[in-house]
Amino acid sequence: MRMIRQGGSHELEIRRSRFVCTLARTAGEAEATAFIAAHRRAHRDATHNCTAYVVGERGEITKSSDDGEPAGTAGIPMLEVLVRRGLTGTAAVVTRHFGGVKLGAGGLVRAYSQAVAETIDAVGVVELRPVVTVTVGVDYALAGRFLGDLHAAGHQPGDVRYAAAVEADVAVPASELAAFEAWAAEVTAGRAALRRGAPGHIEVPVP
């Protein structure tokens, strides 16, 4: 599953018309529609505020609007860029300020597509990978060596707590869970206490 790394805006000018694309990360359809409504209120003086969004675990919920542009020349091309990039949890609004020169249907399709594509490139994309947080507890005598072994093996603990024992939270890819637990048991000679937490996701930048 992929999402934009963060929200943001990008502007381009085509034959005197200004196209400003604004992207937002949205957790669901209600959040996407609220973002779009707020953006339209803030830019009600624009010629058009065309929109598209993709939400859902598998990007199964999609919607677009041409907002007065000729049918199929704005919202659908915007949506196609989001889908082609494999994104979900993403809403896009392209605000157009008309510059007096008509672009024609093909020109509009290219302009709205380009606005979204360039904005995605500007804000970046992340891949959400499923992980399980494993809490590993060791006594103080083992803690220093074990934390060093964690780092050497490429596991970065998200949180380390020092109480009756030393506990480290490690986000482990779901597919590597059994291997990590076997590794932790081996490097501590079976003296580590392992506790699985709730599944979640980590964000990995996509080049």
Enumerate the domain spans of the chain.
2-123, 129-206
Residue 156 pLDDT greater than 90, yes or no: no
| Mean pLDDT of all residues in 123-147 | 94
Helix (H, G, I), strand (E, B) or coil at 96: strand
| Mean pLDDT of all residues in 127-139 | 93
Q: Tell me: domain 129-206, CATH 1.10.760.10, correct?
A: no
**Integer Cα distance of 51 and 39 in angstroms:** 10
pLDDT for 138 equals: 95
Domains 2-123 and 129-206 alike in fold? no
| Mean pLDDT of all residues in 131-144 | 94
Each residue's pLDDT tens digit, 45-76: 999 999 999 999 899 999 999 999 999 999 99
Cβ distance 132 to 175 under 8 Å? no
**Integer Cα distance of 207 and 189 in angstroms:** 39
Residue 201 pLDDT greater than 90, yes or no: no
Phi/psi class of residue 110: alpha, beta or left (left: φ > 0; alpha: ψ in -120 to 50)? Answer: alpha
The class of domain 2-123 in CATH terms is alpha beta
Q: How confident is the model at residue 207 (pLDDT cuts 50, 70, 90)?
A: confident
Global pTM exceeds 0.85: no
Mean pLDDT of the chain: 95
**Integer Cα distance of 4 and 2 in angstroms:** 7
Query: Encoding tokens for residue 76?
Result: 């659908």
